[in-house]
Amino acid sequence: MTEILRGLGTDNMTQQAKRADARARVTVPEFRARKDRQEKLTMATAYDATFARMLDEGGVDSLLVGDSLGMVVQGQSSTLPVTLDEMIYHCRAVARGLARVPGGSRALIIGDMPFMSYQVDELSAMRNAGRFLAEGGAHAVKLEGGSPAMARTIARIVECGIPVIGHVGLTPQSIHAMGGFRVQGKSEEAAERVFQEAKAVEEAGAFAIVLEGIPEALGKRISEALAIPTIGIGAGVHCDGQVLVSYDLLGLTPDLKPKFVKRYADFFETGIAAARAYVDEVQRGVFPGPEHTFGAATSRPADAPKTQSNVVVVKPATETTSRRPEPLRAVSYGPTES
Ligand code: KIV
């Protein structure tokens, strides 16, 4: 930054410095510093190279290779069947995607430790956490829970030099213990339990904590009490940052409309419309046109549109939405209640 500031006028200097900061790599210390500066953090899930690159170029601060991939990528009804090897495979894909960001990527990669990869004993938890960094290219790991045993596990992993993000409130790996994807911490007693768990996670050395599916007031109380940043999902606006499943934020989960999700795009409908346009053009002999063909013949069907480029932008087929069959079952990795 100093080199950038040197020799520039003040206005220019501020602009340039801001731009340089905007592309600076997001590190674990930067996560903590953001809370001190009261600047919100952004996190989204990523499971492959293309999405990782897209989200990084969109300015998302950190990419969580979440075990939610079990539901949105693998089509499972919970996160429980996801294996450690699968998580590391997806982590590697995300890390490769970031390596392809022009000008360098900035997002912090967090590997989500899957069910039973850290609960059995501290040694296997440390070993498995290490695999995310050594084999998966992650910068940190996330694990669920804030019991005394889990706090000890977090402390041991942190002692290995592996940064840890905690996760309390609605913890999807405990779906059966919770009786489903339910908002947690609603009663005074339950709120106190989540609060104490969050404090235990901080004391164990986690550098941030995900708060999932809890009332806004509890999200605020925890965010004010902790020195480490809180990253909310269904935990209200007072958290120090927010995380969303990328498939939700991009509109790729048509059968799922949890209250805490906001859709910023309509990729699923756009995808249907694109597929229909492709099918239509192939059936009419319009695609491939001469511009897509090696040593093309000159004759084309009379009704062929004169395409200007290789890219056709189609609009979402919103009129088709109502004709799609009802989902067989609703799945969720978060609370569906209001
Ligand atoms: O697996 C995941 O995507 C998560 C987020 C919902 C926080 O844990």
User: Which DSSP string corresponds to 289-333?
Assistant: -GGGSTT--S---TT-----SS-------GGGGGGSPPPSS---S
Instruction: For a ligand 1 pocket test, name from 60, 65, 67 the mutation site with the most ligand atoms within 8 angstroms of its C-beta.
Output: 67
Instruction: For a ligand 1 pocket test, name from 62, 64, 72, 242 the mutation site with the most ligand atoms within 8 angstroms of its C-beta.
Output: 64
Angle in degrees, CA 234, 70, 204, rounded to 5 = 55
Looking at ligand 1, which atom is closest to the CA of residue 66?
1
Q: Are 235 and 168 in contact (CB under 8 A)?
A: no
Atom 6 of ligand 1, nearest CA residue? 245
What pLDDT was estimated at residue 298?
63
What pLDDT was estimated at residue 256?
82
The residue ranges of every structural domain in the chain are 2-249, 267-315
- Provide the Cα torsion 223, 25, 101, 51; round to 10°: -10
Instruction: For a ligand 1 pocket test, name from 82, 245, 256, 331 the mutation site with the most ligand atoms within 8 angstroms of its C-beta.
Output: 245
> Which residues are near ligand 1 (CB < 6 Å)?
45, 64, 66-68, 112, 210, 212, 233, 243, 245, 333
What pLDDT was estimated at residue 324?
44
Q: If you measure from the C-alpha of residue 124 to the centroid of ligand 1, how many angstroms do you get, rounded to a whole number? A: 22
Spatial separation of the C-alpha atoms in residues 282 and 206, rounded to whole Å: 54
Q: If you measure from the C-alpha of residue 11 to the centroid of ligand 1, how many angstroms do you get, rounded to a whole number? A: 41
Q: If you measure from the C-alpha of residue 244 to the centroid of ligand 1, how many angstroms do you get, rounded to a whole number? A: 8
Residue 212: which residues within 8 A CB-CB, separation 6 or more?
A: 167, 168, 169, 170, 171, 172, 184, 232, 233, 234, 235, 334
Atom 2 of ligand 1, nearest CA residue? 66
Q: If you measure from the C-alpha of residue 233 to the centroid of ligand 1, how many angstroms do you get, rounded to a whole number? A: 8
Q: If you measure from the C-alpha of residue 98 to the centroid of ligand 1, how many angstroms do you get, rounded to a whole number? A: 20
What are the residue numbers of the active site? 212
What pLDDT was estimated at residue 334?
56
Q: Which two tokens stand for residue 29?
A: 């210390």
- Residue ranges of the chain whose pLDDT lies below 50: 1-10, 13, 308, 318-332, 338
Q: Give domain 2-249's CATH number out of 2.40.50.1020, 3.20.20.60, 3.50.50.60, 3.40.50.720.
A: 3.20.20.60
Q: If you measure from the C-alpha of residue 27 to the centroid of ligand 1, how many angstroms do you get, rounded to a whole number? A: 20
Atom 3 of ligand 1, nearest CA residue? 66
Residue 243 is which amino acid? Answer: V
Q: Which two tokens stand for residue 66?
A: 């979440």
Percent of the chain with pLDDT over 70: 81
Looking at ligand 1, which atom is closest to the CA of residue 334?
6
Which residue(s) pair with 44 in the sheet?
Answer: 63, 244
Which pTM does this prediction carry? Answer: 0.86
What pLDDT was estimated at residue 257?
83
Looking at ligand 1, which atom is closest to the CA of residue 45?
3
Q: Which of 188, 234, 228 is nearest to 204 (CA)?
A: 228
